[in-house]
Each structure stands twice: as C-alpha cells, then as structure tokens.
Amino acid sequence: MKLRIQSGAIYYSIIVIVFITLIVLFFIINSSLARYRVLQVIKYEQAQLNLQSAINMALTDHQADFNRNWFSIYKINNQNIHVEIKQWGFLKIAIATSNYNNSNISLCLSLGYKKDSLPVLYLIEKNQSLNVGGNVIIKGNCFLPHKGIQKINIEGSYDENTVLFGKSSFSDKTLPELNESFVNTILNYFNIDIFKYESDSLILSNNIPDKMNNSFKNKTLVFYSNNTLSLRNKEIKNNVIIYSNDTIIIDNTFETDNILCIAKNVVIKDNFEGCIQVAASESIIVGDNCTFNYPSALMIIEHRFKNSYIYAGNNFYINGALILYSENNESNGIINIAENANIEGVIYSKGLINFKNNSIVIGHVFTGGFLLYTSLGSYKNALKNVKIDAISVPDDYIYPQIFKMSKYAIIEKLE
C-alpha cells in the first residue's frame, strides 16, 4: 500500500515538474521571440536610417552639382544603397533603395533649398522708375532701376504710406537666370516623346481612373491626350503626370497632391484646392477663391509663343511659385493677379506683373516690369496698395529648386 502511494506521488510529481518545465520553456521561447522581433524592428529601423544617411552623404558629395540629375551607390553598415536624385517639376526627388532580408526597401524625399539671401524685389533696369501710389510696403533688400522710386497720382490718389525697409541696389537689364536643370526639365515636359525613352516613366492613354495613389517608388505614370482633358470627380495623388496637347480643365471636385499637369492651356475652376504643379506654354487661368497648398507652382515656360499669361482670380492663395519664363531676355507675357491675393514663396516673370488692390506677397518678386490697370487707365511700372515682404518669410521655409542655391533641405517624406 505504501509503495502504491509513493509511486502515485512520484507520478504526480513528474507531471507537475513537466508542466512547470513547459510553462518555463513557453516563457523563455516567448521572451526569445519577443527579443528577436524587437531586434528585427531595430535592424529594420537601422536599415531605414542608413537610407537617410546615404541620401545625406550623396547630397553632401554632390553639393556642387546638386542642380543636375545623378545617382550614386553607397555602402553603410554592409548595406549597399542606391541613391538617385531627379527633377520633379520645380522640386528635386531623392530616392534611396536597398535590399533587406531578400526584399527591397526604399525612402523617397522631396528636396528644396534652405532660406537664402534672395532680394524682396528685383525690378530690371529699363530707364524707368518704380511708381507707387496708395499704401505700398516693401520689406527686404531690393534691386531697383537707377531712377529709384517715384510717388505718382493713381486714380486721383497720391502715395499715402510707402515704406521701404532694407537696402536698395541698382538692378541689371536682365533678371537673374533660373536654374538650368529646372528650365530644361520643364521644356522637356512639352515633348511627349521624352517620356517614351525614360526608363522610369510609363505612358498611358487618357483613361484616367477615378482614384489613384502612385508611390514615387514606382514608375511615373503619364496620362496623355491630344485633346482637351477635363479633370473632375477624381482623386489622383503622387508621381502622376497628366499631359494634353491642347487644354486641361481642372474642376474643384478634382482632389490632388504632388502631381504635374502639362498642357498648352490650363483652366482651373473656382474654389479649387490642392497641391499641384501646373506647366503651360500659352496660358493658365485660375478662377476665384482658389487655394494652392505648399509646394505648388503655376508655370509658363515660353518657347515659341510670346504672349503667354497667367491670370489668378480674386482671393487667390498659393504657397510655392508663380513663374513666367521665356528663353529670350524679354517677354510680352504677363501675370495678372486679381484683388485680395495672398502669395507665399516666389514670383518670377520675365514679362510684366499686374497686381490688383490688397495683394500680399510673403516672399520675393522678380520681374521685367509692372503694369497696373485701373478704371481710369493703365500705369507703367506702378504699384498701388501692395505689400511685398521677405522679412516675414519663416527661417525654416524651404524654397523650390528654381534658382541655384547651395544649401539643400528636405521638404517631406513621400509615399
């Protein structure tokens, strides 16, 4: 009887020991798996940091030729990383790719330039003064014609309160040139054949889907048509180019972010809001109450057509750039900006600029001249009730890649 009890006790003791051992093993294995998972996360995060480091190294190594497209290969912590820098409209895109655990990982960043010493106003020398009336405020260093600033009667109103904060220097007869890489890229956009030979682009028909988000890690999708394209009730984001040999009409039901639209003429309807780069060769017409979020651009690049124009309706807002560029030193083109405009960034016009009442520019204006239209007539090289302020540009503002500057900066991480 005693032997039977002892045997049973031993049996149950063994069961308890095995059960406890299994529990201990479970916690040991689970802890090891947890540590393994944490270690894998750390390794993956380190691999991602290596991508960022490779981009930083590439930009430092190629700082002198940052204005061109190029690629490099770096080895960081035994990780081979391919870095490519390419133009995307008025921005640069940096793409770092590598193999990790037998799969590709990548990092895409949009790039611009840190705040530089750009003048608040550059008005070229045409042997004419800058004529002002009403309330004109200019804050920052200027380049002005030799005749300087003159107060005149505009619509029966003489200068009321013209304020100039900053130094004034004499301007040249031509504007500072734009970045050659940027100009050539935009000019090439107007040749659809360019995309046929680009290995990172794919040309599609004009059958644009209702919804699309194309990562910058993929090939650029180019939707092409010889006819007018109407964009409405669609949501198109990232790494997409919409191209028309005629006109693109953008409705306020079109939702967009980080895409390019290229056409001879572009019409943007009232109440549009989005982040977009528009490049046209003849005209861009923007309706009232439109908002173009950072970093957006409206760009005319004249090639053969010499009377191009941009018209921005009432209550216009853009953060980025307005550009009217001609391959010639002068242009007959004009940027017309209606009342109550609010512009952040850069306006560059080899032609003229017409500011209506109560326009505010927090940034910089480069122009071949001003032309003010009023109910009583037109005034050459005239401003009325306009504020141009470079001093209020935030220190961390990142400029588009339209001028040759030296200090690059990261705008945002792209999908």
Tell me, what's the pLDDT at 2? Answer: 47
Nearest to 334 by CA among 324, 344, 343: 324
Is 64's pLDDT higher than 50? no
DSSP per residue over 67-97, as a string? TS-EEEEEEETTEEEEEEEEEETTEEEEEEE
pLDDT above 70 (res 1):
no
DSSP label at residue 227: S
User: Is the per-residue pLDDT at 393 higher than 90?
Assistant: yes
Least confident of 39-48, 169-178, 328-337: 39-48
Q: What pLDDT, on a 0 to 100 scale, did the predictor assign at position 182?
A: 87
The helix/strand/coil state of 286 is strand
| Residue 36: band (very low, low, confident or very high) from pLDDT cuts 50, 70, 90 | low
Hey, is 363 helix, strand or coil? strand
What pLDDT was estimated at residue 294? 96
Average pLDDT of span 45-67: 74
Span 248-258, average pLDDT? 97
φ, ψ at 384 (rounded to 5°): -140, 130
Helix (H) or strand (E) holding 53: helix 2-61
**Tokens standing for residue 8:** 């049973």
Residue with the two structure tokens 């690629």: 71
**Is residue 251's pLDDT more than 90?**
yes
In tens, the pLDDT along 188-212 reads 888 888 777 676 778 787 789 999 9
pLDDT of res. 6: 61
In this predicted structure, the answer to whether residue 57 has a pLDDT above a threshold of 80 is yes
- Put residue 148 in one of left, alpha, beta given phi > 0 → left and psi -120 to 50 → alpha: left
In the prediction, which pLDDT does 35 show?
A: 74
Instruction: Choose between 184 and 296: higher pLDDT.
Output: 296
Range in 140-154, 351-365, 399-413 with the lowest mean pLDDT: 399-413
Question: What pLDDT sits at residue 302?
Answer: 78
What is the structure's pLDDT at 333? 92
Whole-number pLDDT of residue 277: 98
Domain residue ranges of the chain, discontinuous segments joined by +: 2-113, 121-407
Give the pLDDT mean for 212-237: 94
Q: What distance in Å separates the CA atoms of residue 344 and residue 284, rounded to the nearest whole number?
A: 19
Distances (CA, A) of 38 to 35, 44, 102, 254, 314: 5, 10, 19, 43, 55
- Give the mean model confidence (pLDDT) for residues 275-289: 97
Q: pLDDT at residue 275 above 70?
A: yes
Query: What is the average per-residue pLDDT within 382-405?
Result: 91
Give 65's pLDDT tier (boundaries 50, 70, 90).
low
Among 21-25, 85-89, 121-125, 245-249, the range scoring the smallest mean pLDDT is: 21-25
Mean pLDDT across 27-35 = 76
How crowded is the C-beta side of 156, counted as CA atoms within 13 Å? 2
The answer to whether residue 269 scores a pLDDT higher than 80 is yes
pLDDT of the residue at 63: 58
pLDDT in tens, 140-164: 999 999 999 888 888 766 656 667 7
Judged against a pLDDT cut of 80, whether residue 66 lies above it is answered with no
